[in-house]
Chain A
Amino acid sequence: MNKNSNRLLRICAVAAAALLSILSSPAADTSRNIFVFTQIRYEGDWDPYPGMWEEIISFLTTTTSVAAARERKIIAVGEGIFQTPVVWLFGKREFAPLSDAQVKILRDFFDRGGTMFIDDSSDSVESPFRRGIQREFARIFPGKRWERIPESHSIYRSFYLMRGPAGRVMRRDYLEGVLSGSRYAAVLSSNDIGGAWQKDKFGNYLYECVPLRDHQRWESHKLTVNFILYSLTGTYKSDAVHQPFIERKIRR
């Protein structure tokens, strides 16, 4: 089969499965222990890709056993953050500093097991958004730094086996994280993963992935699923029982 056929087959499969998942997915409900796509709202450009979450949930429930709500939850940094342990933060521009109370809330959130995925959707390597993130996390975790997540980390193996990060544009060839205990409580991508998901109203992807186009988009989709599986399973794929299988597959 050629590449176009593969692509068509993949699109059909996803569409069919998406239809099935829409029919079978639980209704919007934060109970029953199902995954809810929760996004942080703040003063600034907090929602660069409004339709992205639907694509993510559709893909997630089609390809994995994760049960997910067919809704997006939007919250501000406040007491409500403790209702969902996994949150997403998107942005591309500078944003206002958090209040001291918000800093404490986030610190408690991470201490109690919360996880945050941060996606920099800007156009530059050292973007204002990134600077804002580093500024606020220096307050949340004094003394801790953003560190490079090694490629052997379970975040790259939580569902798909990946050799590195992905995104719409490859500005950095690594993800960054802040450790809380033995897990990465916050993960930062500089490569605009959200942009690889966004579609127009006709269902076409809005943005080209640079430089590797469809392959890069596919990797971005896989990495997003890996984020979610990591948030729901932790370092499960680092357990000893998995290593021989994973090493064997990587070597092939």
Chain B
Amino acid sequence: MRVLTPILCTLFLMGCGPNQGSIPVQIVAPIDNEMTRYGLRVATLQRMSDFSQLKGERFIFRAGRNVPWSEYAVASENQDSFESVRSTLSKKLALDPVSPRFSWNGDFYGAADFDSLYMATAYYWFERVADFFQDTVKDTSVATHIPVVVSVYGAFTSKGFVKVPTGFADNSAYQPLEDIFRMYRVGDQEGVPFEMNPGVIAHEFQHRVFHKLVFETKGKEGYRLWKTFSSTNSSLKLARPRALLRATDEGMADIHALAFSRNPNFLAVSQPHSDSSREEQRNLESEFAKVATYDNLADSSIEAQFLNDCNGESLNYANPSWRFYCLGTVIAKTIWDASGNDVDVLRLHYLPVLNRCFAALGDALLADFANYDVDVFWRILLPKLDADARLPLCANIKLRFQSLYSRIPECV
């Protein structure tokens, strides 16, 4: 019957399978609670308005384009708000619907090719992550309340007659200028493709939440702040606060990914045969996570092997080439250990409070971006925590941010 159904449906031109509402579809999903082992499962995509184009009430999948980086720079010139940039970009970069291929077997849809399986799985996890941010993180920002486009494949390219794609595989990203998620092709990675990895999707979704609350709640001032933060052409004087804020952003993304996936090493399933110490940096139970501190990364006194994996010396975080993910791990590890390495404690006592800090962080950055350091973030967070959560966090801040500790009266 599973073979005959699609054939009979086609021959008799019957409407086969639902196209709106709740859609059962076969996806790639974890088969354990810690999301370390994966298999094929039937899941339900909810609130679909057009399944044949993977368009729903919260997520709209579109075919990505190869676009030169320079077009983004041009689009943001002489603009004073995110809205005006997006209006310009959407006219230039209107995306086409996707055309996934599924077959209905009478009970659920099965993907007819890898791309369709990839998209259906990603769509499902975007929905679950959005629910997580609404229900558990208690986010009330537009990040969880307005639809967002997921751009499938496509890449940034070089300028010129032959547009060479750069970084177009084995990755995933949130693109704040367009306010879209980018889903890249599978290249030579192993394991679970990145956009089928629920932790990765939660990580990217948190970037959107961070961006919306820190920058976009501040109107035009927030746009100018974001331009200063994201520009690579700006003064090197701002390299330090830029790196520290990026590290804060990445630390928040990783801690939310851990909380959603219940896995401190959520990337491992997408890097199963990796023996790269650099890839181990993001594992909050790795040797790097255990030894790295704000201070030994600032003065490069951490073991040489770890130093190399962070692209050398940070020069007190003023080195623009330094890998800020390294400090992001320290920030995430501080919160993870404060929770007692308990995902339920993390979800209940820390994440909703973190979410309430981001708008205040934006205010602090507007007041003084040039002098931003991570203690600013801790000082916003700590008063909002209850005592049971604040005390262990103070203990871990003292352990990992020793030189900043005296600046945090909420702990001292």
Same complex origin of A and B: no
* Interface set of B (CB-CB < 8 Å, partner A): none
